[in-house]
Amino acid sequence: QADSISAALAAAPVVPLVDSGDPDQAVATARALLEGGLAVQEVVLRRPGALDAMRSMAQRRADIGEGLIVGAGTVLTLEQAKAVHKAGAEFIVSPGLLDEIVHYCMDEGLPVFPGTATASEVQRAHALGLRAVKFFPASLAGGVPMLKALSSVFSAMRFMPTGGISAANLHEYLALPGVIACGGSWLTPREVIAAGDYDAVTGLAREAVAIARAARD
C-alpha cells in the first residue's frame, strides 16, 4: 500500500479533500478528480454520512476508475481509525499526532500521515518510526519558510503540507525537496460540488497537475 501511494504521489503530488456526507456525490467527485489526474484522495470525516461516503468510494473503486486510492482524513480517535480501516480506507490522515492511532496503523500496515506543526511533533513522529507526516495548518504554522527549516533538520522525513494551499501557492510548497505531496480543499469547492459542476472539479485537478509538473521539472 505504501508503495502504491508513493508511486501515485510521485506522478501527481496533490491530495484533494472530498468533504461529503452523500455517497453518490462523493463517488461523482472522486471520478471527476481522477479524470483530472488525481488518484490519491482523502475523504474527511467532518459531517454525518462521511464514513458511508468513504465506504462507497472504496467499494466502487474499480468502477470509478483505475488507480484510485481512497484514504480517510480528519481521523481524530482510535475508534475512527478502526472504522475507516474496516470501511476500506487505504491510508489515514489526522490533524494532529495521536500515538494510539499511529501504533494501530503501523501494526495494521496502514499508511498514516499524522499532523505536525512544530519541531517537537516532527521529532516525536520520527521517534515513533514514521518517515512521512502531514504539516498542518501549513500556511498558519509558518508556511514554506517553516517547512524549509523543518526539512533541513529532519532530512529523513517527508512532509505533506495542508491548510491554506491553493493553485496560487502550490508550486512554492512542491518546490521543496522534502514535500511528498500537498493536500487541500481548493480542488473541491463546496458551491461547485453542490451545483454538480464536476467538469469544473476535473478542471481544477488538471490545473493542479500542470502546476505540479512545472514545479518538479
Beta strands in the chain (DSSP E): 14-18, 40-44, 69-73, 92-93, 112-113, 115-116, 132-135, 158-161, 182-184
154-167: buried (b, 16+ CB within 10 Å) or exposed (e) per residue? beebbbbbbbbbee
Is 162 an interacting residue with respect to ligand 3PG (CB under 6 A)?
Answer: yes
CA-to-CA distance for 105 and 91, rounded, in angstroms?
Answer: 9
Phi, psi of 127 (to 5 degrees): -65, -30
CA-to-CA distance for 166 and 186, rounded, in angstroms?
Answer: 6
Active site residue 79: no
Active-site position among 86, 134, 148, 207:
134
Least distance to ligand 3PG, CB of residue 126, Å: 21
Active site residue 134: yes
Size of interface with ligand 3PG, in residues (CB under 6 A): 13
Nearest to residue 3, comparing CAs of 82, 111, 107, 154?
A: 111
Phi, psi of 160 (to 5 degrees): -120, 90
Q: How many CB atoms lie within 10 A of CB 41?
A: 28
Least distance to ligand 3PG, CB of residue 44, Å: 6
The one segment of 123-131, 141-149, 163-171, 195-203 that binds ligand 3PG by CB under 6 A: 163-171
Nearest residue (CB) to ligand 3PG, 59 versus 185:
185
Between residue 182 and residue 201, which ones bind ligand 3PG under the rule CB under 6 A? Answer: 183-186
Is 114 an interacting residue with respect to ligand 3PG (CB under 6 A)?
Answer: no
Site string for ligand 3PG, 49-88 (x = CB under 6 A): ------------------------xx--------------
Is 143 an interacting residue with respect to ligand 3PG (CB under 6 A)?
Answer: no
Between residue 1 and residue 40, which ones bind ligand 3PG under the rule CB under 6 A? Answer: 17
Helix extents (H) in 12-59 = 23-35, 50-59
Cell of 179: 514535500
Is 163 an interacting residue with respect to ligand 3PG (CB under 6 A)?
Answer: yes
Least distance to ligand 3PG, CB of residue 70, Å: 16
Catalytic residues: 42, 134
Binding residues vs ligand 3PG (CB under 6 A): 17, 44, 73-74, 136, 162-165, 183-186
